A and B are shown apart, each in its own frame.
Chain A
Amino acid sequence: MLNRRRFLMNSAAAGAGFAALHLTPAFAQDAPQIQIFVPAAPGGGWDQTARAMDQVLRSEKLISGSQITNVGGAGGTVGLPQFVNQWNGKGNALMVAGMVMVGAIIANKSANNLTQVTPIARLTGEFEALVVPAASPFKTAADFVAALKADPTQVPVAGGSAGGSDHILFGLIAKTAGVPATNLSYVPFAGGGEALSALLGNQVAAGISGFGEFSEQVKAGALRLLAISADKRQEGIDAPTLKEAGIDVELFNWRGVFAPPGVSDDDKAAMIKLVETMAKSDAWAKECKNRNWTPILLTGDDYAKFVAEDTARIATILKDLGLA
């Protein structure tokens, strides 16, 4: 816990610091300035990724400062065309994007896609969790799948917006269980809080969302965690992965960074190095831990290959769900 002295020390500088909070440091340094493009409104996952990056890059003295631009809307498909067209060739620029954008590009039939930008690195992922209310008859993921097989319409599942990562995971689970995606009773909620309250109020049979949304409720015993969508068991989480539970599905709601189209190979290599150094720093590891992000670093060509594979997989499932 905080004691009063630290508290005062922290706060003393803050009064003066407050006014200057958003002014980029004026002094020149060897480290470069970078620009981060966030195709979402401030506050969301991509924006937090950008702001955490800015913080770590500066504290590690890797950059002298950064400028964050938010252009929000439609799962990133409003911002993407702007990044592709107006940021073309900018060697010091990065865009934060992720699985949500892959889905939005397909569902919105966007004219631009992620093959038009330069993949730099996949940084983090949040695995999803399948939970049920504490009073639910489902004790294991197998119980859940069995009920789903018996009659999917009797198993309403709450999650995020239609076509989002939660819906995609539900679709993938159903697919491996041989249940047609179109029979699923999926109840989308706009925000994590609303979906949670439907679960706590026993209005739905199960819920699927990012693990972080549910972790505290699971800890408090209000929800039961059936399985997680990570690739392997996670430390401190007492639940099997979906694969261990016999459902051959793995899903990370990943977030990564891209450079604009048309950047030189040197710029690209330098940017990959910069991001890689950041991602391997202790400060970044600490950020990830605080925010429940799993670091899943993947850079350059491997990342490009991963994006292509994930796009194909998501396109198939969205087609099954009638969203592409």
Chain B
Amino acid sequence: METFGHLAHGFSVAFTPVNLMWCLVGTTLGTAIGVLPGLGPALTIALLLPITYQVAPEASFILFAGIYYGAMYGGSTTSILLNTPGESATIVTALEGNRMARSGRGGAALATSAIGSFVAGTIGTMGVAFLAPIVVKFALSFGPAEYFSLMVLAFITVSAVLGSSSVRGLTSLFAGFVIGMIGVDLQTGQPRFTFGTSELLDGVDVIIVAVGLFAVGETLYMASRRYAGKDEIVPLKGSLYMTAAEWARSWRPWLRGALIGFPIGAMPAGGAEIPTFLSYAIEKKLSRHKEEFGTVGAIEGVAGPEAANNASAAGVLVPMLTLGLPTSATAAIMLSAFQSYGINPGPLLLTTQADLVWGLIASLFIANVILVILNLPLIGLWVRLLKIPAPQLYAGILVFATVGTYGISQSPIDLVILYLLGAAGFLMRRFDFPTAPVIIGMILGPLAETQFRRAMTISNGDWTVFYRHPLSLTLLTLAFIGLVGPHIWAYVERRRLRGPEHVPGDA
């Protein structure tokens, strides 16, 4: 097959000592910036763009690819250990991963995340190499109507993470909608919920919300019950790495996560967050260890979303390399790096710059291998972070959160928002409101709104677009089954026996 020849050639480009060095620098740097909330791969690559004046295109793209993949690994490490997601794509990882870390399985959580990322990253990169033309055709068939239907499906699916009470879960979700709507309305350019502040015109960054609710909220909560002597962190219980049972519970979620992440990542409005939500919800539904979700932490809830986010990172490269379409901030910056070499990214990129593109794809494979080699031995070291005494650990987390939020924007308003959300997170924890739906609402809400309004504008107010398009209709049907199915099933079940009606947990 022709692709293999190209790929072999790509490896010959990437496998020079110098380029391997760039790959190593990139993955290390990527891991480091992935750890910091607020400092993501897009910003880092933007700041490193001047390097394109000094080195060959191959070298800089290999560096950037390393940063891109590395950030995904780094983001999960802090999500799991410190409940402080470094990247928006790793917010979901914190839900179960941090629970696992607290109950002594942090090593296993880090291992499943690293290996899952490797597996999914490799599957995704193979997808880029072999399936790109097909996937891109599928992705382009998604118009606003299809996206809206996909959002409806996502809402229904993720309602599984709403927690123990649907009223409180929905309250959290609606709070997320409100936060998501802050800023200039994309469709009409009008400011919404800004209270006249120009800093709010661009909206609130999802990472600030996640770090505020999770990390700051948790610090306040822990302080408030310092004498209770509960919620002690157990640094390590049992084996450092994964046990046989944990392997057995991980591999299916990895594959499912990769299959969800890759195509959604390839969609122009897909992103990395939605596949992680979907994967989490699906794993929770399918798991035979539901009682571990939200309590001691279920490994499926880490393995699936982690695989999904790395596969979607690969998916993003599909429209970028085949059509020159930047569908994420990182892809857009990488494309502008192409431009500073005088290369115009577009549908002809693959033919005119075959060396570069295949070298880049090969270096993605290499980056994945380097990252897993880099991360697995480090797990032992990372887990020791949990042995830091509580005062210094929590104080450190807050310093960390500050670097990310203030360091980049230099806006005290961001800190005010961070701390207010921390207070909200504290109250939510005290009064048993789940925090994850806030994040879900904030990401899915505005997307659903935008796509709905876009579809209505394009169709000139014709509602039928949502079921006239076959793809959209399929998605809506799936959503309907998802909505009605469990109720019918639950009704049948309830008639058989009266189960427990209140399941605690799911903070």
- A7–B58 CB distance below 8 A: yes
Cα(A161)–Cα(B16), bound, Å: 43
Q: How many chain A residues have a CB neighbour from B under 8 Å?
A: 70
- B339–A204 CB distance below 8 A: no
**Residue B141 interfacial (CB < 8 Å):** yes
Cα(A196)–Cα(B323), bound, Å: 10
Instruction: Given A71-B410, A162-B186, A219-B348, verify A185-B18 contact (CB < 8 Å).
Output: no
Instruction: Given A154-B460, A200-B140, verify A220-B58 contact (CB < 8 Å).
Output: no
- B56–A194 CB distance below 8 A: no
User: Which chain A residues (1-30) contact chain B, with CB distance < 8 Å?
Assistant: 1-2, 4, 6-8, 10-15, 17-18, 21-22
Cα(A74)–Cα(B326), bound, Å: 22
**Residue A300 interfacial (CB < 8 Å):** no
- A190–B186 CB distance below 8 A: yes
- A74–B457 CB distance below 8 A: no
Q: How far apart are A204's CB and chain B's nearest CB, in angstroms?
A: 6
**Residue A77 interfacial (CB < 8 Å):** yes
Instruction: Given A219-B346, A289-B342, verify A41-B142 contact (CB < 8 Å).
Output: no
Question: A70-89 toward B: CB 8 Å interface, digit per residue (1/0)?
Answer: 01111001100000000000
Cα(A188)–Cα(B144), bound, Å: 12
- Please give, as numbers and ranges, the residues of chain A lying within 8 Å of B55 by CB-CB distance: 10-11, 14
- B189–A107 CB distance below 8 A: yes
- A48–B336 CB distance below 8 A: yes
Looking at B42-50, B88-96, B300-308, B491-499, the stretch in contact with chain A turns out to be B42-50
Q: Which residue of A lies closest to B450 (CB)?
A: A190
Q: Which residue of A lies closest to B268 (CB)?
A: A197
Question: B295-332 toward A: CB 8 Å interface, digit per residue (1/0)?
Answer: 00000000000000000000000010001111101011
**Residue B380 interfacial (CB < 8 Å):** no
Cα(A217)–Cα(B324), bound, Å: 8
**Residue B143 interfacial (CB < 8 Å):** yes
**Residue B448 interfacial (CB < 8 Å):** no
- A15–B21 CB distance below 8 A: yes
Q: How many chain B residues have a CB neighbour from A under 8 Å?
A: 71
Instruction: Given A21-B51, A43-B46, A197-B319, verify A11-B458 contact (CB < 8 Å).
Output: no
Per a CB cutoff under 8 Å, which of B25, B332, B454 touches A18?
Answer: B25
- Please give, as numbers and ranges, the residues of chain A lying within 8 Å of B48 by CB-CB distance: 21
- B325–A196 CB distance below 8 A: yes
**Residue A67 interfacial (CB < 8 Å):** no
- A191–B341 CB distance below 8 A: no
**Residue B191 interfacial (CB < 8 Å):** yes
Instruction: Given A55-B53, A217-B346, verify A74-B198 contact (CB < 8 Å).
Output: yes
- A193–B325 CB distance below 8 A: yes
**Residue A166 interfacial (CB < 8 Å):** no
- Please give, as numbers and ranges, the residues of chain A lying within 8 Å of B186 by CB-CB distance: 161-162, 188-190
Cα(A188)–Cα(B333), bound, Å: 21
Instruction: Given A21-B50, A192-B326, A216-B347, verify A197-B189 contact (CB < 8 Å).
Output: no
What would 13 A/B residue contacts be, using CB atoms closer than 8 Å? A10-B54, A11-B56, A43-B49, A48-B49, A77-B201, A162-B188, A189-B186, A193-B268, A193-B326, A198-B268, A215-B344, A216-B345, A216-B348
Please report B residues at the A interface, Cβ cutoff 8 Å: 16, 18-19, 21-22, 25, 42-43, 45-51, 53-59, 139-144, 184-191, 198-199, 201-202, 268-269, 319, 323-327, 329, 331-333, 336, 339-342, 344-349, 355, 409-411, 454, 457-458, 460
The 9 A-B pairs with the shortest beta carbon distances in the complex, nearest first, are A216-B346, A43-B46, A162-B189, A42-B46, A74-B201, A197-B268, A220-B347, A163-B189, A11-B18
Sample of 4 more A-B contacts, CB < 8 Å, known A15-B21, A196-B323: A47-B46, A193-B319, A220-B348, A292-B339
